[in-house]
Amino acid sequence: MNRQQFLQRFSLQAAKHSALLQLEKSKAAAVLLVLREHQGELHLLLTKRSADLRHHPGQISFPGGKIESNELSHQAALRETYEETGIAPEQLQLIGQLPRYVTGTGFLIQPWIAFLTEEVELQLQPSEVESAFWLPLSFVIDPQNSHSQYFAMRGQAHLVHFIPYGSHLIWGATAAILNSLTLQLRF
């Protein structure tokens, strides 16, 4: 799937100023699904979080993090992407957002989608990101490449998605957000 096909199949909410998230129980966060077209196919940027991080160490994730009190969610996603990967906001075309996702650990995540406007060399922040890789979108949308299972957490059943890719296991919020993207692309 290339960029034009993606835009034709995906009903994006227009990238607009997002309201600050006022939450009492959840922690507000924003992530950025960075898409690049490489040899006619779209790829998503994923990072492996540093093993030294307090939250979700060593897990596969999108660039992103906490929304500060003085910023909007898309600003947080762009800022965090720059801090973690060196991709500057001016190297991205923000095109829309996916539905918010609430994690079992109390985070409320606003996923944003952006196209990379030029080839970049990633400048990873080692205190936050151990490594990064590009995941083909075609792999993500192939239903044979993922599975889901219910787990009990804090007395409730939670559906957890899994996407094994090479030596990486994508699961939790990252896999759930990819599942949301896949569902929107299939219709």
Domain extents for the chain? Answer: 3-142
In sign, the C-alpha dihedral spanning 75, 78, 82, 84 is: positive
CATH class, range 3-142: alpha beta
Give the global pTM.
0.85
Instruction: State the pLDDT at residue 4.
Output: 82
Instruction: State the pLDDT at residue 184.
Output: 84
Q: Using only the alpha carbons of the chain, give its radius of gyration.
A: 16
Does residue 60 carry a pLDDT above 90? yes
DSSP per-residue string spanning 112-159: EEEEE-S-------TTTEEEEEEEEHHHHH-GGG-EEEEEEETTEEEE
Interval 112-129: pLDDT, tens: 999 999 999 999 998 888
Picking from 7, 6, 181, 182, the residue whose alpha carbon sits closest to that of residue 99 is 181
More confident residue, 15 or 182: 182
Instruction: State the pLDDT at residue 51.
Output: 67
- Give the residue-averaged pLDDT of 148-171: 84
